[in-house]
Amino acid sequence: MTEASLTAVPVVEAQPKPPTNSIFRHAIYVVADNPVTGLSFGLFVLIAVCALIGPYIVPYDPLASDTSATLQSPSLHHWFGTDLLGRDIFSRVLAATRLDFTIAVASVALVLFMGGLAGIAAGFFGGWTDRIIGRISDTIMAFPLFVLAMGIVAALGNTVTNIVIATAIINFPLYVRVARAEANVRREAGFVQAARLSGNGDFRILLVHILPNIMPIMMVQISLTMGYAILNAAGLSFIGLGVKPPTPEWGIMVAEGATNIISGEWWVAFFPGGALMIAVFCFNLLGDGLRDLVDPQRRT
Amino acid sequence: MLTIAKRLLTVIPTLIGVVIVTFLLTRVLPGDPAVYFAGPAATPQSIAEIRKSLGLDRPLPDQFAHYVNDLAHGNFGNSLSTGRPVATEISSRLPASAELTLSGLILAIVIAVPLGIFAAVKQGSFIDHLCRVIATAGVSLPVFFTGLLLVYIFYFNLGWSPAPIGRLDAFATAPPDITGFYLIDSLITGNFETFRASLSQLVLPAVTLAVFSLAPITRMTRASMLAILASEFIRTARASGLNDRTVILTYAFRNAMLPVVTTLGMVFSFLLGANVLVEKVFAWPGIGSYAVEALLQSDFAPVQGFVLTMAVLYVALNLLIDMLYGVIDPRVRLEA
């Protein structure tokens, strides 16, 4: 598999200058190749736009309660209905996009930094570095991941930042594994030897020559784990960790609507849950599409 | 025999890692347990006293030895809010969680494996497409959301299932504690009324967990059946005139099961986590809901006990899966 990915990755030679034109053509190719990937890319843009401007375009204040309009079913005034305190659910779902998206992006960025660097160091240096980093990943993998995340948030303290950290830690072994394998096959590659001969130190080779080369594979990993990161964060806030009411966030909104489900007010939990589902679905499809493109051997 | 002994040895460093992590979760990270214990009205003096009584003033390796010693004696500490020992609470709640998780897993395997085989045999058919939709949709569904949807449809709309209030409704009596699994205990004692009541409570949460774990099992069964069906010994078997049934079930299925069994390890990791969320949705009195209650009250001992129990269970399950490997594939046994 590793050899196959070597040939499949368009190897960007040593200069880190990104060929913008070819990236753009690549993107068009992705969308044209598979309409489902195109659709998921469209959804991704929609989610990103909601995260950016959502809080400014909401029709109602997501925090303002209205005791004269509690638990109304979806209507023209309140597209997604209102909750127990009369807050407009459409506005809350829209405003929540930013927080959920930020948590996912931040945790994935954090794990890309930690896991990516640890992984290429393990693959490149081998020996003790590899053994220690491998042992750390193994220990993390010995826990059921969501349970470990609960424990970490409980220990570090019940805040959104710690949800980001916990989500990053449980994804750490995945990133280490991918980065390690990719760095390992490139360790003795021609361009690395050339760089070494020209007098580059180990760290410079790692950061300037190997890191840019494994980025395509890591990008796929990112979009595959984004969905999981959102699910994990929403799960933690569903059980009451991290995000505090009345902050709009999908997981906590589903938790608030859980009591209404039994008495038939389905919309309180349905719309935030649906938004969450669509976001995860979108990231998973996008990840699959990207992987098929970058690494066709692993297509299932 | 030797392979099993060797595999058992590899568990030791993993368990040591697990114990170290659960220990570190409380001691090294910011936040002082002594301040928690002392409460808001504590003076520096009383905090120092509590710290001494908890053993928090001693050096870290010393504390660790103390912790391991406690664990070896089955002492997980006491819950701050109820004062009860964590170990007894967890062991009394464990059967509820185990019954739920296992029912969900068995349900998922019973559906997913045949579905995956059909999808692979009839590639490109309706079942194949259904399989792909399930595989992508299943992993995208937040498990707590699926649970609530099922409650809305089957409890509120159709009225087929009872209210999501735990293992038994208020009118049924719990069966005598033999295995701790209500379904089995009520059957043993011949109490069919209780059996029916506990089964009707169990169906929805078990289905929720099954939906969640369907996706990876179906996907892996399909992929591995496809790979096996394309191999040469299958072609030979077909060329020798064996019928489809024999080729698929006897020749392909057994070989295709290996990667599926490996996937089960990952499925368990997800299931044990999802279990916590499902227990919360259905007010299931398992160890997950115990940990969640404790978490919200910053009661750390139960959470620590819960994380440790789950990790040990997970390590044991992975060990079991590796043993299964030897049963399915004789080559693994011969390697010793």
- Mutation site for A-interface testing, chosen from B145, B226, B307 by largest number of A Cβ within 10 Å: B145
The residue type found at A275 is A
Which residue is listed with tokens 């809010």?
B81
Q: Does position B15 have pLDDT exceeding 90, yes or no?
A: no
Please name the member of A143, A261, A263 whose beta carbon is closest to the beta carbon of B314: A143
> What are the residues whose beta carbons fall under 8 Å from the beta carbon of A243, sequence distance 6 or more?
A99, A160, A163, A237, A249, A251, A252
The Cβ of residue B129 has, within 10 Å, a number of other Cβ atoms equal to 11
Q: What is the pLDDT of residue A33?
A: 63
Question: CB-hemisphere CA count at 13 Å for B333?
Answer: 9
Among the partner-chain residues B13, B141, B303, the one whose CB lies closest to the CB of A154 is B303
Lowest mean pLDDT among A72-76, A223-227, B146-150: A72-76
Average pLDDT over residues B261-280: 86
pLDDT band at residue A169, thresholds of 50, 70 and 90?
very high
Q: Which residues on chain B are in Cβ contact (under 8 Å) with A150? A: 276, 291, 295, 303, 307
Q: What is the ipTM of this complex?
A: 0.83
pLDDT for position A12: 46
**What's phi and psi for A188, nearest 5 deg?**
-105, 15
Helix crossing, B253-281 with B287-296: angle to 10°? 40
- Determine the pLDDT at residue A22: 66
Testing the interface with B: which of A1, A147, A226 to mutate, by most B Cβ within 10 A?
A147
Would the CA dihedral through A211, A217, A219, A222 be positive or negative? negative
Size of interface A-B (CB pairs under 8 A): 156
C-alpha–C-alpha distance, residues B124 and B130, integer Å? 10
Q: Which of B276, B208, B93 shows the shortest CA–CA distance to A238?
A: B276
The first and second tokens of residue B172, run together, are: 């049924």
The C-alpha atoms of residue A194 and residue A24 are separated, in whole angstroms, by: 30
User: Is residue A168 very low, low, confident or very high in pLDDT (cuts 50, 70, 90)?
Assistant: very high
Kindly report the number of other CB atoms within 10 A of residue A219's CB atom.
Answer: 15
Is the per-residue pLDDT at B31 higher than 80? Answer: no
Cα distances from A224 to residues A104, A229, B20, B26, B32, in angstroms, run 12, 9, 30, 32, 37
Shortest CA gap B181–chain A (Å): 23
Name the residue with tokens 């590793």: A2
Q: Does residue B318 surpass a pLDDT of 80?
A: yes
**Contact yes or no for B142 and A280 at CB 8 A:** yes
Average pLDDT, integer, range A105-110: 91
pLDDT given for residue B38 in this prediction: 66
Instruction: Name the residue of chain A whose CA is nearest to B272's CA.
Output: A144
Cross-chain residue pair B273–A147, CB shorter than 8 Å: yes
- For residue A138, pLDDT over 80 is answered with yes
pLDDT digits (tens, 9 = 90+) for B115-127: 888 888 887 777 7
Picking from A49-53, B192-196, B228-232, B254-258, which range would have the lowest pLDDT averaged per residue? Answer: B192-196
Strand partners, A82: A88
Average pLDDT, integer, range B247-256: 83
Residue B110 has a pLDDT of 92
Whole-Å CA distances, B166 to A170, B67, B284: 30, 34, 4
Residue range B136-186, pLDDT digits in tens: 777 778 888 888 888 888 887 787 777 777 777 766 677 777 777 777 777
What is the overall mean pLDDT for chain B?
81
- Express each pLDDT in B223-248 by its tens digit: 888 888 888 888 888 888 888 888 88
Average pLDDT over residues B258-270: 83
